[in-house]
Structure 1
Amino acid sequence: MRLVLLRHGQTPSNVAGALDTGPPGAELTDLGHRQAAAVVGALDGARVDAVYASDRVRTQLTAAPLAGERGLVVPVLPELGEVSAGDYEMRTDHAAVEAYLSCLGTWLDGDLDHRLPGGETGHAFLERFGAAVAAATADRADDATVVLVSHGAAIRTYAELRATGGGDAPERMRLDNTGAVVLDGDPAAGWRVASWTGTPLGGAHLRDGRAHDVTGDEPEE
């Protein structure tokens, strides 16, 4: 089975560098809509059996072009939501951003008990995201491909902690808007990283180098 963990398109919060992690969240920018539309061409010819999104507006808007082209509905799985920023929600200051990225790095280093004030532990995150993966893949054929439209920190954290392989420290790589991590395997036997595309699936020309993206950035040691 194949999972395509696709990050949503750009939002105003990404541009501003805001820790926008709660529902319903921001909509897409004009660039974000172009990024989402370009996913259709990027996956042209690839098998897609289902497309799911989190309960954040940006993931549902990102999923819509691909699902529409494939004649699929987009079930919403709230458990695919972003890693919570807790009390730092919507902050853009250096201290909050540093704390958020440091929390992710702490999880990746093995301390899943750590949490931000008002946030969730690594254990809680993995349990909920894993539940979404299990629901999306239940009763699928062994060769099925399922696209899960989720969020930068959530995708990178799950891929690093629940999948093997991936080359040189994929947990330290960026994941730009509409970048994707592809996992092969299944929930019972486990997952391995088949590919990690940090730039937008539609091409690097869709990357906004001026944005102060936070949740797509590398976790801090």
Structure 2
Amino acid sequence: MPTLLLLRHGRTTANSSGLLAGRAPGVGLDEYGAAQAAALPGRLTGIPLALVVHSPLQRCVETLAPLLARRGDLPTHADERITECEYGEWTGRALGELAGEPLMATVRSHPSAAVFPGGESLRGMQARVVEAVRDWDARVAAEHGQEAIWLMCTHGDNIKAIVADALGLHLDLFQRIAPHPASVTAIRYGAPPTAPLLLRFGDTGDLAEFVPRTEAAARDAAEATRAPVGGGA
């Protein structure tokens, strides 16, 4: 079966401000996220992508812009099914403030029961994004062959849900998965009864967060990075 390269969008102005962006309009990449996007074509050099699928939100479009400028003939499709979770009344609020909401305890420990006020459930989000991934993977196999490689650019919680499904993990365990902005996760789905293979997770090519007492270490240890909604910064 084809190989999926699952890309999280670059860091956004909401990520760096500690806000839950959700589906709010006008949330683009910050300066660091723009640099991550600019580095993406080089990271993917030599990889023959069959097509690109992306969330229609601005931050995913901006993340892909340098790659698509380099590869102008690459078929590209926006899919509403892989847009951000609908966080409803939580959208745009500070993550520090949301930490005090009673619902947050459910989001942290029992996310399969979490329903955002005025929004959707995490269970519903997982169902739609997994359906989209598997539909596109089957389409790529039919149109481009079993050895094809394709790219999907989406959001942090979506990627956590997709990886949990691929590993056979209950949604209640998906908070143990933390994909960084602009990271690439590789999954190969097999025809049933073959189980999916997680080939690579969260690859950014950047290990600076593990060097103590550096700006990168402080950035990636920030409270916003450990937030249980929105994927972190």
Identity of aligned residues (%): 24
Alpha-carbon deviation of 1:74?
A: 2.5
Match of 1:216 in 2: 231
1:103 has 2:118 as partner: no
Contact 1:165 1:193 in 2 (8 A): no
* Letter paired with 2:114: H
Give distance in 1, aligned partners of 2:10 and 2:50. 21
Give distance in 1, aligned partners of 2:146 and 2:14. 38
Give distance in 1, aligned partners of 2:3 and 2:78. 19
Distance 1:128 1:173, change over 3 A: closer
Distance 1:217 1:179, change over 3 A: same
Match of 1:29 in 2: 30
* Letter paired with 1:216: G
Match of 1:158 in 2: 162
Distance 1:102 1:176, change over 3 A: farther
More off after superposition, 149-158 vs 180-189: 180-189
Contact 2:22 2:86 in 1 (8 A): yes
Give distance in 2, aligned partners of 1:157 and 1:101. 18
Alpha-carbon deviation of 1:136?
A: 2.4
Rg larger in structure: 2
Alpha-carbon deviation of 1:50?
A: 0.9
Match of 1:137 in 2: 137
Alpha-carbon deviation of 1:114?
A: 3.0
Alpha-carbon deviation of 1:11?
A: 0.9
* Letter paired with 1:133: V
Give distance in 2, aligned partners of 1:56 and 1:25. 9
Match of 1:122 in 2: 122
Alpha-carbon deviation of 1:23?
A: 4.8
Distance 1:44 1:102, change over 3 A: farther
* Letter paired with 2:127: E
Alpha-carbon deviation of 1:195?
A: 0.9
More off after superposition, 136-145 vs 2-11: 136-145
Contact 2:18 2:96 in 1 (8 A): no
Q: In the TM superposition, what whole-angstrom CA distance separates every residue of 1:125-182 from its partner, at most 9, and x where no partner exists?
A: 122212321442243221111111001111012211x11289xx88524322101221
Match of 2:74 in 1: 72
SS at match of 2:139: coil
Match of 2:63 in 1: 62
Contact 2:108 2:175 in 1 (8 A): no
Equivalent pairs counted in the alignment come to 209
Alpha-carbon deviation of 1:118?
A: 2.0
Give distance in 2, aligned partners of 1:116 and 1:75. 28
Give distance in 1, aligned partners of 2:85 and 2:181. 16
Which structure is higher in helix share? 2
Give distance in 2, aligned partners of 1:205 and 1:14. 18
* Letter paired with 1:164: L
Give distance in 1, aligned partners of 2:105 and 2:158. 12
Give distance in 2, aligned partners of 1:52 and 1:35. 19
Give distance in 1, aligned partners of 2:125 and 2:174. 19
Instruction: Return 5+ residue gaps in structure 2 as ranges.
Output: 210-215
SS at match of 2:36: helix
Q: TM-score, normalised by structure 2?
A: 0.76
Q: TM-score, normalised by structure 1?
A: 0.80
SS at match of 1:50: strand
